Amino acid sequence: MLDKLVKLAELKEVLQERRRAKQKIVFTNGCFDILHVGHVRYLQAAQAKGDLLVVGINSDTSVKQLKGEQRPVVPEEERAEMLAALEMVDYVVIFEELTAKRVIGELKPDIYVKGGDYSVEELPEAEVVASYGGKIELVKEVKGASTTNIVEEIQRINDR
């Protein structure tokens, strides 16, 4: 499982080998703070689109910038380890930036997957994916399944 947690340079080499073997590489990314059923279904759908699923996760620093000072609830190394433990995930890489543009530009996955709560036009990574001829696919989101909703529910319970 821990061999699924890789640095970007190592991952680039692995993906070159996989490309030579004609494998279709799928990439997705997110914070994946408190793992929930929405994440699992999303990752299953992403994995079904190719031969190899690479998941990029935002570092703790970038999650704080995106979600606020109280987040993440779960530290980056633990989030990465939990994702790596999922059978549909082949590799996990942590990135520091707010978006996955740099990582995608370096890895050049065949397919970039995001949840259906986004549109292709609003994805900051869309331009990078288009620049090398990659494909973007959106997968259906699980309504109501979110880390934010879980955190809010816990706060409501604590406020009672």
Each domain of the chain, given as residue ranges in start order, spans 2-159
Exposure of 55 by Cβ count < 10 A (0-12 exposed, 13-18 middle, 19+ buried)?
A: buried
Q: Is the pLDDT of residue 55 over 70?
A: yes
Topology of the domain comprising 2-159? Rossmann fold (3.40.50)
In whole angstroms, give the CA distance from residue 44 to residue 4: 17
pTM of structure: 0.90
Q: What is the pLDDT of residues 78-134, one digit of tens each?
A: 999 999 999 999 999 999 999 999 999 999 999 999 987 778 888 999 999 999 999
**Cα 31 to Cα 24, 39, 140, distances in angstroms:** 24, 10, 18
